[in-house]
Structure 1
Amino acid sequence: MPPLQQASAHEALARSLTRRGALHAALLQWQALLRLDPAHPDALLESALLLRRLSRPRQALEAFAAASARAPGDPQILAALAIAQAEAAQPDAAIASFRRSIAADPGNPHLRHQLRRLTSSLVPFWHIPMLNDAARNDAFEAAILQALAAEGPDARVLDIGTGSGLLSLMAARAGATGIVTCEAVPLIAETARQIIALNGHEGAITVVPKPSTALVLGDDLPARADILVSEILSSDLLAEGVLDTFEDAQRRLLRPGAHIIPRAAAAMGCLIESPVLANYAGVSRAAGFDVSPFAALAPPRLPVHGRMGQCRRLSPDLELLRLDLTAPTHDPVLAPLSVPVLADGLALGVLQWMQLDLAEGVGFHNHPETAADGGWMPILHAFPQPVPVTAGSTLALLAGHDRSSLILLPAE
């Protein structure tokens, strides 16, 4: 059979086998066609798609890359390559491929949707509400102004966790010119550079697309910084590796006695009862069946949106844990905490929020009775099982941290 007829036969058979669900056999036909014509565009793309469907991601990625190399301007192949790169945990390469596909086919709404879906998955949702939190912004700016007033405009400023670049922009607006800010997510670092240039401060701020622990003194950072500012605290204080980051900065990147913003953070909280939140924190019966073992799989921490209308307070506000962020090291800790009970009820857990000491006389909190939703939300630390409590008694808890998360549990 002439090669052209063989190629047509392999293609027809491959498509028929694919429709019938015989994916392995279809792949063999496309591969046979590629041996006849290594540059066949349909065979390159379809074999890559089949490898992906057959859960062979590494081979699929190689096949998509080969297809793209043979047809570098094909938007369909570029989009397929981008999806494979994203699935292979190569988001930066995937973004570049999507951008090339959109440049080749700018009117395609599917490509724009896929790129937006990918980029938004790389940027935690809380960035936007945090930027819109005026009280938080004002508090950080007041602390930055205080530090620069003490150190002078020539102070070297290190901003860890660039995000949008807002804290660095505040420092530049206050007159600082030696600002270095680092960001571990390349897409966010790229966007921050755009925002900094848009606001005319690119001469004062250097964005380094690295985590702070990878910064090299004398290279990324000309000298040890006089001021550290960072908002990498999570809603439960610790989940973003804040202790490792601040300790490393003090060891390597800050001069002794540098201003640290924030300088302390406290986890505050109270016991609550809440039938509404109980339906998120645990389960007992469903459709008449006992499904209570599934409650053991529920997350111990849940973000709580809105104010305390859905909760009934069972104790006063208490300081659960305080972190001195100027300390050089922080050991894990777990200590007893006696909680006074104000009302009879079924304690679902502890509703926790944060209180920051940013500078002398400058603080911030997201108390759920007064603060609207922002980037930092109150967290429900649900007990393994709700605990009945009586007014006038005390509930014994264990409170502490393991360096990466808060621990709040009823004492045994």
Structure 2
Amino acid sequence: MPALPAQSPAAAVDADHLVALAKATALGDGGLQTARLLNEALALDPQHHEAQILRERLYQTFVPRWHFPMLADQARNQAYAAAIAAKVRPGDIVLDVGCGAGLTAMLAARAGAQHVYTCEQQPLIAEAARQVIARNGLADRITVISKWSHEIVIGSDMPEPADVVISEIVDTVLLGEGALATLTHAMGALAKPGARAIPETGRLLAQPVEAAHLAQQWQPQNAEGFDLSAFHHFANVAQITPGEFSASPPRSLGPAQELFTFDFTRPSIDPGHSQRRLTCAMPGTLHAVLVTFEMQLAEGIAVNNGLASDGHWGRTAYLMEAPCAVKTGAVVSLTAQHDAAQLSLSIDSTRPAATAPQPAQDSDAAIWLNPAWAVPQDTTGPWLPPAPSQDRPTIPSQAAFH
């Protein structure tokens, strides 16, 4: 292996100085100045160990890792491209909520939009999106607004309301990234009456599944002869990555039933409540209730994260407190509730076939919550990493970066 080129002593001193400045720089700008200083240090000394480590830590803090498998999800990309081509018309003003790398904004421009306004509150991501858009020759037709969508002002950030609102700001159960609240504001304050939306609708589905590997991974009964069951209450909700799901997919024990539907063209933040009886169509061991989604982007164009999907979205499974054997025709009664950003699901009873369901007693219900953890948005206190469902990074403290 050839030896790495030696850096001059002066360059090393300059790089050290730039790294010191980067470490002393506040992160209130979303990491922009810190990234610039570290990039300058690495331009002088490409092998500078501390600069490499700090830049990678900065990027992992501010640029969620889900961006990359999402951009590589060809089925998702093709579905959005088809829906945008079907719904965006020449001359349209388009609002793209959640710019990311700029893909959906560029698809809208390619579909004939007069101008696309795309918002991205994370400055590092917004800056990178501008570079992507410029390299694709679309800088004159796409404006990246480095703000949350609810901070956009018509007449200032956008000259007029949008004809089309595009978004892809959903998590594994549609709610955790604040899509309902964001789109309620966007469709009401930033779009023209009767504006088109992509996606149009979404629905949540629940089905009983057998998933021994999942139960063992999240609720192992013992290790080296020791009983671990008292630790299980910390893992009633399993967030399953696409890789984990593909390696050991659950087995469906019965058809999926709809829990909730959402109209993204006329979104609402009103809470919802539903009770369902899931029927097992085959015998097996009931380990969990799997919750998945389907989204219609445009007529005849949909995406989902169901059992047969191999896309980038993860899944959410609500684990049984104790797995139980079920026969064909067994009924699982459950209660599901949601607010603008969270889903809860409780298994009220599991009954054999032909046994009439009895009203669930609240004292017996095991409530399984799926909270969208809130992360303080300040630069002074300690920082905790966001939960997997968090859609946008917040500003961590300077101490957390170091």
Tell me the residue number matched to 2:317: 380
Query: Counterpart of 1:269 in 2: which secondary structure?
Result: strand
Deviations 1:249-294 (A, max 9, x none): 1221011100011011112232112221112322332222222221
Match of 2:105 among 147, 168, 172: 168
Per-residue deviation, 1:315? 1.4
Tell me the residue number matched to 1:8: none
Per-residue deviation, 1:335? 1.6
Tell me the residue number matched to 2:87: 147
Match of 2:277 among 338, 351, 354: 338
Query: Counterpart of 1:118 in 2: which secondary structure?
Result: helix
Residue 35 of structure 2 corresponds to residue 95 of structure 1: yes
Residue 339 of structure 2 corresponds to residue 402 of structure 1: yes
Instruction: Note if contact 1:128-1:375 (Cα within 8 Å) is conserved in structure 2.
Output: no
Across the two proteins, how many residue pairs are aligned to each other? 335
Measured in 2, the distance between the counterparts of 1:283 and 1:309 equals: 16
- 1:271 to 1:258, Cα distance in 2 relative to 1, 3 A: same
Per-residue deviation, 1:142? 1.7
Instruction: Note if contact 1:251-1:328 (Cα within 8 Å) is conserved in structure 2.
Output: no
Tell me the residue number matched to 2:355: none
Match of 2:296 among 343, 357, 369: 357
Amino acid of the structure 2 residue aligned with 1:344: P
Tell me the residue number matched to 2:172: 235
Per-residue deviation, 1:331? 1.3
Deviations 1:105-146 (A, max 9, x none): 344254234313321332222212211222211211222122
Query: Counterpart of 2:260 in 1: which secondary structure?
Result: strand
Instruction: Note if contact 1:315-1:343 (Cα within 8 Å) is conserved in structure 2.
Output: yes
Match of 1:316 among 252, 255, 258: 255
The one of the two structures with greater contact order (alpha-carbon pairs below 8 A, sep at least 6) is 2
What TM-score do you get using the length of structure 2 for normalisation?
0.77
Measured in 2, the distance between the counterparts of 1:177 and 1:116 equals: 38
Instruction: Note if contact 2:280-2:326 (Cα within 8 Å) is conserved in structure 1.
Output: yes
Q: Which range is displaced more, 207-216 or 135-144? A: 135-144
Instruction: Note if contact 1:95-1:118 (Cα within 8 Å) is conserved in structure 2.
Output: yes
Tell me the residue number matched to 1:128: 68
- Could you list the structure 1 runs, at least 4 aligned residues long, displaced by more than 4 angstroms after superposition: 83-90
In the alignment, structure 1 segments of 5+ residues that lack a partner are 1-72
Tell me the residue number matched to 1:178: 115
Q: Which range is displaced more, 199-208 or 344-353? A: 344-353
Instruction: Note if contact 1:300-1:383 (Cα within 8 Å) is conserved in structure 2.
Output: no
Equivalence map 1:220-231=2 (5 Å): 220-231=157-168
Query: Counterpart of 1:239 in 2: which secondary structure?
Result: coil
Q: Which range is displaced more, 104-113 or 121-130? A: 104-113
What TM-score do you get using the length of structure 1 for normalisation?
0.75
Tell me the residue number matched to 1:301: 238
Tell me the residue number matched to 1:286: 223
Instruction: Note if contact 2:27-2:34 (Cα within 8 Å) is conserved in structure 1.
Output: no
Amino acid of the structure 1 residue aligned with 2:294: Q
